[in-house]
Amino acid sequence: MDDIPGSLGWPVIGESIAFIYEFSSPSGIFSFMNKRQQRYGKVFKSFVLGRFTVFLTGREASKILLTGKDGMVSLNLFYTGQQVLGPTSLLQTSGEAHKRLRRLIGEPLSVDGLKKYFQFINTLAIETLDRWSGRNVNVLEEVSTFTLQVIGNMIMSLEPSGREQEEFRANFKLISSSFASLPFKVPGTAFYRGIKARDRMYAMLDVVISRRRQGEVRQDFLESLIMKQAKTAGGEENDDKLTDAQLKDNILTLLVAGHDTTTAALTWLIKFLEENPPVLEQLRDEHRQIQVQRTEGTSLTWSEVNNMPYTAKVISETLRRATILPWYSRKAAQDFEINGYKINKGWSVNLDVVSIHHDPEVFTNPYKFDPTRFDTPLRPFSFLGFGSGPRMCPGMNLAKLEICIFIHHLVCRYRWKPLEKDDSVQPTLVRMPKNKYPVAVEPL
């Protein structure tokens, strides 16, 4: 590692304090990366959150790390994430086991699989926005509740309100906030609270799974996985059989992956729209056209939500500008070379996505919010809104569906103004506005 430039910081803690501190600055972790890139170049080493790591950026690096070709790298969660999500999570498996899990999980999340949840999501978006009229709202909180209600219903038919939903939400918030914490399992720490909340969440899932096995039938994600288990319970080995531990680890993985990222994307999108009136007007036109062509008294339909070309570009530009997952972490499964530096097997290698998304050679005037960048196809590996390669986000279609539905009802009904100007980012793994984006909402 000697020939790779960079600093390992203080003994034991390394550069963790600077790393966590930069998280909360307006540009988030990008400022941590950027300062060091200017000093050391596109490849540098550091020691953060308990481990040696090499940070890389650029299209070549993203191609190598995301295609994972020839088994060069595997996914690499921080210790806290590994402990909270459990060993059989999709995010911790690789090779054939990963492919199999991904196939099982991918079916209900495919475009066809999502069709049956469309009406629920549409009704929930309308009910959520009914409460916004003439009020001051915290967009992030509202959107977080909406996306959690969607994923809770899809996975285990959780009702949008009631005691179970409250318990579910309280545990989920603690789990979510433990991911970027220091790995000290001591009472009072975020990590400890996250582990305890995970245990309570698993106990809840045990109760739900046992009710299903006793004959309660629901049309949800859990049901489809339990049905596969039941079919193969005859003793013979089958590719579709998951253990209860695998069931719970992967349901939690879907909750975490499907909630935080969509919540952040939708919040940033609403913020960017307000800051860019011409974009908002063009988007509103697209949605008004959809409304105009509709029969009196009917609501949004499945085919309409799948035909919103400008909205799709606005979503992509939001994911580029906000870069919700600022880096992707991998582990070198073998020795390899990149940018003239040797990476040793076992090292943690992190791809800096913010720099890729703001590369002026690919995106002219990169800090401008401009959805027309997506009028023509981009060069491969220059836009990583949903990742790329074998680990591309399996919930991509669900995220787009939730955002399109929510935005349709929002722009057709309301205008909104921020109650304060603040571009700071929360100190969490997923980039979100620190002030939760409070706005005053008025009917159009």
Annotated binding-site members for heme: 393
Q: What are the distances in angstroms from CA 288 to CA 147, 237, 407?
A: 24, 53, 12
47 beta partners:
52
For 418-427, which contacts have Cβ atoms below 8 Å and span 24 or more sequence positions?
418/271, 418/274, 419/136, 423/26, 424/24, 424/25, 424/26, 425/23, 425/24, 425/25, 425/26, 425/27, 425/28, 426/23, 426/24, 427/20, 427/23, 427/24, 427/180
Note whether 152 and 54 are within 8 A (CB). Answer: no
Q: Measured between alpha carbons, how far apart are the two ends of the chain, in Å?
A: 59
CA distance 196 to 269: 33
DSSP assignments along 253-283, one per residue: HHHHHHHHHHHHHHHHHHHHHHH-HHHHHHH
Q: What is the number of other CB atoms lying within 10 angstroms of the CB of residue 21?
A: 13
271-273-274-277 Cα dihedral, nearest 10 degrees: 160
CA distance 63 to 72: 11
CA distance 140 to 138: 6
For 240-246, which contacts have Cβ atoms below 8 Å and span 24 or more sequence positions?
240/104, 242/104, 243/88, 244/206, 244/209, 245/86, 245/88, 246/88, 246/101
Binding residue ranges: 393
The residue among 34, 56, 49 whose CA lies nearest residue 336 is: 56
Work out the angle between the directed axes of helices 95-106 and 244-275 (0-180°, nearest 10).
Answer: 70
Eight-state DSSP code of residue 107: T
